[in-house]
């Protein structure tokens, strides 16, 4: 059975654009801003937002990616490397962090990312941007910037496709 496309290429682009404007609106021009993408797709989205900021403001905003597989509360054996080098770790102190992920679901991934960020440095603020908020939160976490709210059933899956790995941009509900 065919998947249902809920965001096509154009609306996905628009969502990223709007998130970018809102980040600027709420960060007064983007001083001390650092974008942190949650691997894998969040990282590409973070770079997209950074390049939009660059087009608009003609400044380069630092982007880093974190891999939180090892920080999930349902996974034992915390490894604190997160794939970051030392310089990147110190970088986030006193910065305004925008954490970026593709889908916000239970909130556990975000919680792990927050743990990880606080673990490696002490940012000034952390806000959250997601391309899709599909509901069903299990933790008191909400996104500051949302591309699109897509109400879903528990048993449905949301799949985000990005040009960089999937060859196209789209969000689909997978049956």
Contact pattern from residue 7 through residue 26 relative to another protein, giving x for each residue in contact according to CB under 8 A and a dash for the rest:
--xxx-xxxxxx-xxx-xx-
With CB under 8 A as the contact rule, the residue among 6, 42, 52, 66 that binds another protein is 52
In angstroms, what is the minimal distance from the CB of 130 to another protein? 13
Nearest to 107 by CA among 97, 118, 99: 99
Question: Which range binds another protein by CB under 8 A, 2-10, 67-75, 82-90, 122-130?
Answer: 2-10
Pairwise CA distance, residues 145 & 143, whole Å: 6
Which CB sits closer to another protein, 92 or 170? 170
In angstroms, what is the minimal distance from the CB of 39 to another protein? 19
Cis (ω within 30 of 0) for the bond into 45? no
Parallel, antiparallel or unpaired: strands 33-38 and 125-133: unpaired
The gap from C-alpha 38 to its chain's centroid, in whole angstroms, comes to 6
In angstroms, what is the minimal distance from the CB of 13 to another protein? 6
* DSSP-derived secondary structure for 27-94: HTTTTTEEEEEETTHHHHHHHHHHHHHHHHH--PPPEEEE--GGG-TTS-S----TT--HHHHHHTTT
Residues 105-134 that bind another protein (CB under 8 A): none
Q: Are 47 and 173 in contact (CB under 8 A)?
A: no
What tokens were used for 57? 């403001």
In angstroms, what is the minimal distance from the CB of 99 to another protein? 17
In angstroms, what is the minimal distance from the CB of 2 to another protein? 6
Residues 129-168 that bind another protein (CB under 8 A): 146, 148-149, 163-164, 167-168
Which CB sits closer to another protein, 56 or 75? 56
DSSP secondary-structure letter at 102? E
Q: Footprint of another protein on this chain (CB under 8 A)?
A: 2, 5, 9-11, 13-18, 20-22, 24-25, 28-29, 52, 55-56, 146, 148-149, 163-164, 167-168
């Amino acid at each position: 059975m065919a998947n249902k496309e809920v965001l096509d290429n154009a609306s996905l682009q628009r969502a990223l654009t709007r998130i970018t404007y809102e980040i600027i609106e709420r960060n007064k021009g983007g001083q001390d801003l650092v974008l942190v993408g949650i691997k894998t797709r969040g990282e590409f989205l973070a770079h997209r937002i950074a390049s939009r900021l660059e087009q608009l403001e003609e400044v380069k905003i630092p982007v880093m990616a974190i891999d939180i597989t090892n920080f999930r509360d349902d996974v034992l054996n915390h490894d604190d490397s997160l794939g970051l080098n030392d310089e990147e770790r110190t970088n986030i102190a006193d910065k305004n962090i925008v954490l970026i992920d593709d889908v916000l679901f239970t909130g556990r991934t975000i919680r792990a990312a927050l743990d990880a960020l606080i673990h490696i440095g002490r940012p000034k603020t952390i806000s959250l941007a997601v391309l899709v908020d599909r509901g069903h939160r299990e933790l008191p976490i909400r996104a500051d910037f949302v591309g699109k709210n897509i109400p879903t059933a528990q048993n449905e899956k949301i799949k985000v496709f990005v040009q960089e790995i999937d060859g196209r941009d789209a969000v689909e509900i997978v049956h």
